[in-house]
């Protein structure tokens, strides 16, 4: 990650970043950085339509219909969303809570049964 620098910003923008960031599991600062990266990509390509990008992200438009820059923006957003979701993923907890069993490899590569009455 790059160097961070303090900055002043409008309180309304900060509150919006907190609200939107919470939905995407980002802090306000992370959300503002996310918006800045998207804005940088959009400004670098005047032919890229934010509306078209939002349609693709909502599943209403085709990724292949976007230009190279638009696709880059979509991939950056997808990468951030995947990373945020992976950070909250805890299948062992979910399976245990629902009484389901699962198998996994231990540090030596041996298969180990877990949960659902299996030897944990």
Least confident of 47-51, 95-99, 101-105: 47-51
* Domains held by the chain: number: 2
96 and 76, same structural domain?
no
R_g over Cα of the chain? 20
Query: 96 lies in which domain range?
Result: 90-120
- Taking the whole predicted model, whether its pTM rises above 0.75 is answered as no
User: Model confidence at 72, in pLDDT bands (50, 70, 90)?
Assistant: confident
Residue 57, CA distances (Å) to 22, 50, 60, 114 in order: 18, 10, 8, 37
Q: How far apart are CA 56 and CA 15, in angstroms?
A: 26
SS3 label, residue 25? coil
59 and 46, same structural domain?
yes
24 and 40, same structural domain?
yes
Predicted local confidence at residue 38, as pLDDT:
79
Predicted local confidence at residue 24, as pLDDT:
79
Is 60 exceeded by the pLDDT of residue 118? no
CB atoms within 10 A of CB 52: 18
Q: How far is CA 102 from the centre of its chain?
A: 26
């Amino acid at each position: 990650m790059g160097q961070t620098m303090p900055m002043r910003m409008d309180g309304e923008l900060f509150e919006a970043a907190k609200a939107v960031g919470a939905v995407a599991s980002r802090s306000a600062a992370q959300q503002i950085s996310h918006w800045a990266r998207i804005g940088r990509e959009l400004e670098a390509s005047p032919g890229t339509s934010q509306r078209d990008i939002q349609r693709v992200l909502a599943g209403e438009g085709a990724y292949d219909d976007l230009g190279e820059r638009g696709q880059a923006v979509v991939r950056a957003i997808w990468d951030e969303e995947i990373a945020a979701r992976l950070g909250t993923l805890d299948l062992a907890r979910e399976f245990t809570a629902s009484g389901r069993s699962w198998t996994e490899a231990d540090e030596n590569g041996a298969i180990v049964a877990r949960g659902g009455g299996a030897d944990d």
